[in-house]
Structure 1
Amino acid sequence: MRIRLAAALSAVAATALLLSGCAGAGNPSASPSPSASSSCLLNAKPGKTSDAVKVDGEGKDLKVTVPSGTDIDAATSVERTVLKKGDGKNVVAGDLVSVQYRLVKAADGTALDSSERGAGDQLPILLDPNQQSLFVVALECQPLGSSIVLAVPGKLLGQGQQSVVVYAQSTKKLPTVADGKEVAPVAGMPTVKLAKDGAPDITIPKSDPPTETKIADLKQGDGPTVGSGDYVIVQYRGVTWADGKEFDSSWKRGTPAQFQTTGVVPGFKKALEGQKVGSQVLVVIPPADGYGDQAQSSIPANSTLVFVIDILGTLPSAAPAQ
């Protein structure tokens, strides 16, 4: 289920939001996340429709009900009602948070998506307007721990779309660096030194690059395992073996990135799938598992690539509500 609030969010300054992209095929940076910001992108207000929605129970017993006669289609904008104020710091675009949510059709209450797919009835959500605009609108500029009802008219989701209602609660701010147990380095692999903020500095050995993809754990996490096709939230830095020059970095953009494991080059995919959240992975990718003889904007043809990847979260292969 992929829902984007393109129409609603584009009412904000167009320079603040670029809502047209999804995770790219082959390049982790094809859909960069926005830099964290203290400003609100939409800051939706309460209205008759969002105020009318009833939320009962907790956890798996939580139920979202749209009372009969509630005409969400008649609303001219997204409406947001805060059911309970949290006591944490305000959540903003670019944050990585754990979220409990339910997404239902406004017309009949049919469930469209739920955080029950995640461990403990919650899922890690990167508040990226490019990919998670629904949750950005629901949670932004409200304290961590807040419970929210969002009423979204179908016309704001695109032609022919039905109105939806979202219940969402941000429960915890998640780490943006891998927090697993450190593992001894592997001989012959590039060496990695971490800055105070966790950003990796990568030193290439004075030897020929491997001809097959090589993977080494730098930290071993104990969180959920990344499955094939999962949507993975990561920090990463990439350099070329030939000269050690950086060609891409989520650290430089100031926020983690999210993409599907099937939407990156084969070597990067191999480094992700089967790993546990909290792990930090070093991977050396020869051209055959990278971009081959096709030059990229900052990567020469036939380059061997080196990545350090912090795995921060994973969502089941069924796409999250967007």
Structure 2
Amino acid sequence: MRLRSAVLLSSVALAALALTGCSGDPAPEATPTSTAGAAGDLCGAALGEGASTDGLTVGGEVGATPTLDATLPLEIAEPSRLVVTEGDGDELAEGDWFEYSMAIFDATTGELAQAGGFGEHMVPIQASAQSGVGQLIGCATVGSRIAVTIPGSEQGAAAVYVIDVNDVVDLPTKAWGEDQTPVDGQPTVKLAKDGAPTITLPDTDAPTETVVTTLKKGDGAVVESGQDVLAQYTGVKWSDGSVFDSSWERGTPAPFNTAQVVAGFTKALEGQTVGSQVLVTMPPADGYGSVPGHELEKETLTFVVDILDAGSAIAAP
């Protein structure tokens, strides 16, 4: 059995593992695209146990940074999953957003390579049988600790993931901040009842520098450099006003890291507060102008972004 390719990206947070396609790709993405799909069998999507989980011992309490004990190097022929601790909370259901912690161990040396969420907030991810999350987590109960062995590939070395399912959360679907005074000359935004924006561009020349306007000011934490963010967004081309990308149309927010998007998007998010809605117009130089041959290489782009959450990224200990 093989994992979907997105699950093998062992250098980023589980959100990115399952929901994005970023792993050192030289072409930056404005926002990653979610792979969450139709409702499915979340329990049935989970990986089974295998030879590489036999004799694998994970120490420590759920919620604390784990330890790994195994005969090394760990031989991993195929991905396998082991329930280390079964929690006594509710079982995850398709579409649930849940908070988690994760540690990644090198399967050759046993050393802790990356960790996050142990004593710090990370953005939640969505349980879906249609994405890698379903294979890694399945329908685990809240309070569970799961270990997953991943064979080496072109995307990364063989690894052991230890994932704690901390809590199911009621994720906001749109920005909730206080409306700010509109700025003359900027694109106008009309919101549907569900919060989805319609962007109308002014009949003027496109700006030559990135312009950021706060439409709603949230009361959450400040988005810091290099953090993971969960957002709703719609992007239009200044050349004709057409929508070229929208999380609203896909039906689920998108996770990404502020250091792994185009420069204009980074400028729009860092320093803003969670709960805010931001309008940003970026010239090609801050968009895809540095990516020869990209379909948006010469386009000035305008986005409306609702910042739903922000948190620490998986990092080396």
Which TM bucket (shorter chain)?
A: 0.7 to 0.9
Name the SS for the 1:137 alignment partner.
helix
CA distance in 2, matches of 1:165, 1:90: 21
Shift of 1:142: 3.2
Alignment deviations for residues 267-300 of structure 1 (CA, whole Å, 9 cap, x no partner): 2221122222222100122344334597753x5x
- The aligned counterpart of 2:10 is none
Match of 1:248 among 236, 245, 266: 245
The whole-number CA distance in structure 2 between the counterparts of 1:121 and 1:246 is 36
Considering only aligned residues, what root-mean-square deviation do their CA atoms show, in Å?
Answer: 4.0
Aligned with 2:152 (options 153, 157, 166): 157
1:1-322 paired onto structure 2 within 5 Å: 7-9=2-4, 21-22=21-22, 25-29=27-31, 31-39=32-40, 40=42, 42-46=45-49, 49=53, 53-57=57-61, 59=63, 62-67=64-69, 73=75, 77-81=79-83, 83-87=86-90, 89-92=92-95, 96-105=97-106, 110-116=111-117, 120-127=119-126, 133=132, 135-143=133-141, 145-152=142-149, 156-158=151-153, 161-173=157-169, 174-292=171-289, 296-297=294-295, 299=296, 302-316=298-312
TM-score (norm 1): 0.72
Identity of aligned residues (%): 38
Contact 1:104 1:113 in 2 (8 A): yes
Change in Cα spacing, 1:79 to 1:286, as seen in structure 2 (3 Å) is: closer
Normalising to structure 2: TM-score of the pair? 0.73
Letter matched to residue 114 of structure 2: D
Partner Cα distance (2:216, 2:184) in 1: 16
Q: Is the 1:91–1:139 Cα contact (8 Å) retained in structure 2? A: no
Residues 148-193 of structure 1 show CA distances to partners (whole Å, capped at 9, x for unaligned) of: 32131x5x23389444241321413333422333323222222212
Number of aligned positions between the proteins? 296
Q: Is the 8 A contact 1:85 1:142 kept in 2?
A: no
2:3 aligns to what SS in structure 1?
Answer: helix
Between the aligned partners of 1:27 and 1:20, the Cα distance in structure 2 is: 10
**Residues 229 and 315 of structure 1: is their aligned pair in 2 closer, same or farther, counting only changes over 3 Å?**
same
Q: Secondary structure at the match of 2:266?
A: helix
User: How far apart, in 2, do the equivalents of 1:96 and 1:77 lie?
Assistant: 24
Whichever structure has more helix as a proportion of its residues is 1
The separation in 2 between residues aligned to 1:231 and 1:209, in whole angstroms, is 30
Secondary structure, aligned partner of 1:138:
helix
Partners in 2 of 1:68 and 1:240 — Cα distance?
Answer: 53
Residue 305 of structure 1 deviates from its aligned partner by 1.8
Structure 1 unaligned segments of length 5 or more: list them: 1-5
Preserved CA contact (<8 Å) 2:136 2:148? no
Partner Cα separation in structure 2 for residue 186 and residue 53 of structure 1: 58
Note closer, same or farther for the CA distance 1:187–1:235 as it changes in structure 2 (3 Å cut).
Answer: same
Letter in 1 for 2:274: V
Structure 2 residues not aligned, in runs of 5+:
8-16
Q: Contact 2:19/2:255 (CA < 8 Å) preserved in 1?
A: no
Greater alpha carbon shift after TM alignment, 102-111 vs 182-191: 102-111
Cα gap change, 1:179 to 1:72, in 2 (>3 Å): farther
1: CA distance, partners of 2:143 / 2:135: 13
Cα separation, 2, equivalents of 1:102 and 1:172? 19
Write the distance in 2 (CA, Å) between the matches of 1:226 and 1:260: 11
